[in-house]
Structure 1
Amino acid sequence: MKNKYTYVWVSLVVLVFGIIFVPRIVDRIKSGKVVENTRMNVAQGVDSPLEYITLDGKKRRVPEFSFINQDSLLISNDDYRGKVYLVEFFFTTCPSICPIMNENLVEIQEEFREFDDFGIASFTINPEYDTPMILKEYAEKYGITDMDWNLLTGDSEKIYELANVGFNIFAASAPDVPGGFEHSGLFALVDKNGYLRSRKDNYGNPIIYYRGTIKPSQGENFEGEKEQISILKEDIKKLLEE
C-alpha cells in the first residue's frame, strides 16, 4: 500500500506541474522569449574586452599605407592615429555585396557621427576606374559625409598587397564573375593604436573580422549566417572607451 500511495502522490505532482507550468512554457515559445533568451546566452564578449588579433604570437598592426581619397587628398595610416576605425575593400561598380556593405557603414557612420575619434577607410579594388572624382560621386550617392570616412584609391598592386597580405582580407581581379572582381565583404576593426581587434566566438576564438554583407534588419542570410553589424557597433563603443 505504501508503494501505491507513493505512486499516486508522484502522479498528482506531475499533473499539477503540467496544469500550471506547461501552458506558461508554451506561451513563452509562441512569444519568442525562449528563443530570445537562448540567443542572448549564446552571445559572447558582451562584457569582456576585445581580443588582439595575433600572427606568430605578435599583435597584428595595420601596415603603413598612403593613398588618395575622394577629395584628392593624400591619406595615410597616420591620419587614423588615435582613432578607432573600420576598414573595407570594395569597388564602386560592384553589382552585389558592396551596396549592402556601404549601407551598413552609413548606418554606423550616423551612430558614431559625434565621435571625433572614429573613422572609416574604404579601399577600392578597382583603382583604374575608381578615380577621386568617381569616388566623390559614390560618396554623394550613398550619403558618405563624415570627414573621417575616406574612400581611397591608388596603385593597384599596393592595394591588393594591403588587402591580401596586410589585412588577410581576400580581394582579386576576376573577369569571369559579375563586376569583374571578387572580395570577401568583411570589415576589420582597428583600435586607437593601430591594432586589429575583435570579440571571441562561442568557442573562445577571436572572430577576427565582421560580416558586412548582412543588414541588421535581415537578421541572417540564406546560409544561416547571422548579421554582425549589431555586435560591431557594441565593439566600436568598447574601443572608444579604452
Structure 2
Amino acid sequence: MYRIVYLLLSSVLFISCNQNQNQNKNKKEKVALPYYNEPTFTPIFESNKALVEKRISHKIDDFSFLNQDSVLINQKIIEGRIHIANFIFTSCGSICPTMTKNLKMVSDSLANQKNIVFLSFSVTPWIDKPYVLKRYKRDNEIENKNWHFLTGNKADIYKLARQSYFAEEDIGFSKDSTEFLHTEHFVLVDKNKRIRGIYNGTLTFEMEQLLDDIRTLSTEK
C-alpha cells in the first residue's frame, strides 16, 4: 500500500517538475529574439555578446533627413534606442492608411515609453515635403513626439530602405531608386541598430507580436 502511494506521489512530482521545466524553457525561448543579417531574413539566434559582435555584422547605416517639422533627423536619434521603421507615401490609397492606423495602435500602447522611436520614411519625397507630412501626421491624430515622418533625397531613402532595412526583403535588395519602393513591412531594430523583427503592417494581429517583441527587446541588456 505504501509503495503504491509512494509511486503515485513520485509520478505527480515528476509530471510537475516536467511542466515547470517546460514553462521555464518557454520563458527563455520567448526572451531570445533572432538577429537578421541578410535580406533573406534567415534568423540567427545568438545570446553570447561576443559572438553577436562577431557574427552579426549588419547594422542600419547613417542617415540624415528632414522630419515633418523641418528638423534634421539623423542616426543619433536611434542610438541606444529601439526603433520601428516603415515606408509610406501620403497619397497612397491602398495599404498606407492601414499601416499608419496599425502603427498608431502600437505607438499609443507605448505612449509612456520615451525610448521607443518610430520612423516613417516617405517613398515619394518629391511630393511629401515637410508641411505635407505634418498635415498627414495631424490628420491621423498622431501625437507621439518620437514618431518622425521623414523626407529627403529619393536615392538616399531608397538605398537606406533596401540595403539597410531590407524593406522589400531579398526581392528588392539589388534594386535602385529608378524602381518604385512599396512595402507593407514594419522593421524592428534594437538599441545597437541591428534588425530583430519584420512584420506585415497591414495585419492587426501582427501588431500584438510587434508589441511583445518590443517589450522583449526592452529587457535586453
Tell me the SS of whatever aligns to 1:107.
Answer: helix
- On the 8 A contact 1:127/1:153 being kept in 2, the answer is yes
Unaligned runs of 5+ in 1: 1-42, 175-180, 199-208, 217-227
Unaligned runs of 5+ in 2: 1-25, 40-54
Deviates further, 125-134 or 75-84: 75-84
Q: Which runs of 4+ in 1 moved over 4 A?
A: 43-46, 171-174
* Equivalent residue, structure 2, for 1:114: 112
* Equivalent residue, structure 2, for 1:183: 182
| CA apart distance, 1:44 | 11
Amino acid at match of 2:207: I
Tell me the SS of whatever aligns to 1:62.
Answer: coil
Task: Note if 1:236 corresponds to 2:210.
Answer: no
* CA distances 1:97-123 after superposition (whole Å, capped 9, x unpaired): 000101011001110010111110010
- Structure 1 pair 143–44 and aligned structure 2 pair: CA distance change class (3 A): farther
Percent identical among aligned pairs is 33
| CA apart distance, 1:69 | 0.1
CA root-mean-square deviation: 2.2
Task: Note if 1:49 corresponds to 2:21.
Answer: no
- On the 8 A contact 1:124/1:152 being kept in 2, the answer is yes
| CA apart distance, 1:182 | 4.7
Structure whose alpha-carbon radius of gyration is higher: 1
- On the 8 A contact 1:117/1:240 being kept in 2, the answer is no
| CA apart distance, 1:46 | 6.3
CA distance, structure 2, for counterparts of residue 59 and residue 191 of structure 1? 14
- The alignment of Structure 1 onto Structure 2 pairs a total of residues equal to 173
- On the 8 A contact 2:35/2:56 being kept in 1, the answer is no
- On the 8 A contact 2:67/2:151 being kept in 1, the answer is yes
- On the 8 A contact 1:72/1:132 being kept in 2, the answer is yes
